[in-house]
Amino acid sequence: MKNTLKGLGTALCVALPLLVQTPAGAATAAANAGADQALVQRGAYLAQLGDCAACHTAPKGKPFAGGLPMSTPMGRIYVTNITPDAQTGIGGYTEAEFARALREGVAKDGHNLYPAMPYPSYAKVNDDDVKALYAFFMHGVAPVQQENREADIKWPLNMRWPLMFWNMAFLDKGAYRDKPGKDAAWNRGAYLVQGLGHCGSCHTPRGVAFQESALDESGSAFLSGALLDGWFASNLTGEHNAGLGRWTDEDLRTFLKTGANRHASAFGSMTSVINNSTQAMSDQDVAAISTYLKSLPPAGGNAAPPYAYDPQATKVSLDRPANDAGARVYTAYCMHCHGVDGRGFAPMLAPLAGNPNVLAKDASSLINVTLNGTGDLVINGVPSPFPMPGFAAVLDDRQIADVLSFVRAGWNNGAPAVGAAEVAKLRQSTQAGR
């Protein structure tokens, strides 16, 4: 993740150590006792940076045992077991075979992995980090015997051999190399964003072959926002309205650690990323990511004037909601959380005025979150007190279109209106994916 490519859902956080003492695991425990625990612990941290749990742990499933369904344009696939079980997991992998799967998308038996596994990003992971990850998955994760499930993709689209040609065209091999002229923080941030963080997997638009349009800042489309399984992954460039142009470095660091700031709150797949990954990052790594992202030039905007807050016209509409269908819905269902002024009560309740997700060209995220709500942010074990509820059972397509059109026009947001047909389409697709 409700999951495409990136894999959504409420996955369990990585815990150290994740070992079990069973008769069948006695030999494993003995081997783990001799493992380099510092290397295992470092690998655990890197697994959090890579958000491995979010995709490889199914809801209510055992850590890293797979089984999570993921929708792709070709059909549904099921994430694999990456515990060290020798029969059903990766327990038989050598470090070299593990590295090949991670960075080239080729399994131990030679079959190609679907690029739903973000190996085009993991190709940039350096050898030392691969070694630590291998140590963690072999010695820091409990083996789970759970068979992998075959994909639901029909023949001939289920044939794997064409992926060899896909890799030849779109896989850039070779670990990340520091860019001359950039400081250590920038290069660390670039390494994490482009590599283990695989941010481009969601936030970069894809081409006709479902490849990322750019893998680093040398491509103008990189991290400029993309539609993904009913959500629009936000623009992470310096674009003023829909991107990070108005965010300070502190704003971005706060968002990565807590999932909310004065501009926006996390939803969709980003909730899982915050819960399982970014909140556990060291302050130095969060600062490095912020340094890198804040250096990206504006891209992917809609050429609208820079946003400036103006409450007056919206206040008049809310004073007389009977004259505006969207205002009527807003006053009944939205105003108590998001306010007459549209500024919400950040960071607890997201603002709507000037929110980059409201200003985005694509309204899919607004429609989806209004229909289905979003999962709880869980920061340091404490769930957020005011999660966004879903209104699919309360509001019809026309009402949701009206209120979102009102919000996108309100407080000088100036974003395009939403049509009832857009809402109906997303309602149908999200219900089918449940």
Q: What 8-state DSSP symbol labels residue 67?
A: -
Q: Same domain, yes or no, for 29 and 129?
A: yes
Q: Same domain, yes or no, for 27 and 139?
A: yes
Burial 42-56 (b: 16+ CB within 10 A, else e): bbbbbbbbbbbbbbb
Q: Which residue type occupies 365?
A: S
Q: Same domain, yes or no, for 278 and 224?
A: yes
Does residue 17 lie within any of the structural domains? no
Does residue 137 lie within any of the structural domains? yes
- Is 45 within 8 Å of 276 (Cβ atoms)? no
Does residue 12 lie within any of the structural domains? no
To the question of whether residue 202 is assigned a binding role by annotation, the answer is: yes
Distances (CA, A) of 269 to 2, 3, 8, 206, 399: 9, 8, 5, 17, 26
**Which pLDDT belongs to residue 433?**
62
Q: Does residue 162 surpass a pLDDT of 90?
A: no
Q: Does residue 138 surpass a pLDDT of 80?
A: yes
Mean pLDDT of 118-135: 97
**Which pLDDT belongs to residue 9?**
35
Does residue 306 lie within any of the structural domains? no
To the question of whether residue 198 is assigned a binding role by annotation, the answer is: no
187 or 28: whose pLDDT is higher?
187
**Which pLDDT belongs to residue 2?**
37
**Which pLDDT belongs to residue 322?**
84
List pLDDT tens digits, range 79-100.
999 999 999 999 999 999 999 9
Q: Same domain, yes or no, for 285 and 357?
A: no
To the question of whether residue 13 is assigned a binding role by annotation, the answer is: no
Q: Same domain, yes or no, for 281 and 368?
A: no
List pLDDT tens digits, range 34-75.
679 999 999 999 999 999 998 899 888 999 999 888 777 777
List pLDDT tens digits, range 364-422.
999 999 999 999 999 999 999 889 999 999 999 999 999 999 999 999 999 999 999 99
Does residue 300 lie within any of the structural domains? no
**Which pLDDT belongs to residue 194?**
98
Q: Same domain, yes or no, for 352 and 404?
A: yes
**Which pLDDT belongs to residue 33?**
59
Q: Same domain, yes or no, for 254 and 351?
A: no
- Of 262, 293, 324, which residue is a domain's last? 293
Q: Same domain, yes or no, for 52 and 101?
A: yes
Distances (CA, A) of 356 to 238, 256, 266, 305, 311: 11, 16, 12, 14, 17
Does residue 167 lie within any of the structural domains? no
**Which pLDDT belongs to residue 301?**
83
Euclidean distance between CA atoms 241 and 206, whole angstroms: 22
Does residue 154 lie within any of the structural domains? no
Does residue 67 lie within any of the structural domains? yes
Q: Does residue 30 surpass a pLDDT of 50?
A: no
Q: Same domain, yes or no, for 232 and 200?
A: yes
**Which pLDDT belongs to residue 302?**
80
Q: Does residue 357 surpass a pLDDT of 80?
A: yes
| Domain extent at residue 277 | 184-293
Q: Same domain, yes or no, for 129 and 36?
A: yes
Look up the CATH number of the domain holding residue 346. 1.10.760.10
Q: Same domain, yes or no, for 117 and 216?
A: no
**Which pLDDT belongs to residue 28?**
52
Q: Does residue 165 surpass a pLDDT of 80?
A: yes
- Is 244 within 8 Å of 237 (Cβ atoms)? yes
Is the bond leading into 73 cis (omega within 30 degrees of zero)?
A: no
Q: Could you tell me the sign of the dihedral formed by the alpha carbons of 393, 394, 398, 402, in that order?
A: negative
SS3 label, residue 260: strand
To the question of whether residue 56 is assigned a binding role by annotation, the answer is: yes
Q: What 8-state DSSP symbol labels residue 77?
A: E
Total number of residues shown for the chain: 434
**Which pLDDT belongs to residue 23?**
36
Mean pLDDT, rounded, of the chain:
89
Place of tokens 């950040």: 346
- Of 242, 263, 293, which residue is a domain's last? 293
- Is 351 within 8 Å of 341 (Cβ atoms)? no
Mean pLDDT of 190-208: 96
Number of structural domains found in the chain: 3
Q: Same domain, yes or no, for 256 and 324?
A: no
List pLDDT tens digits, range 319-333.
888 889 999 999 999
pTM of the shown model: 0.89
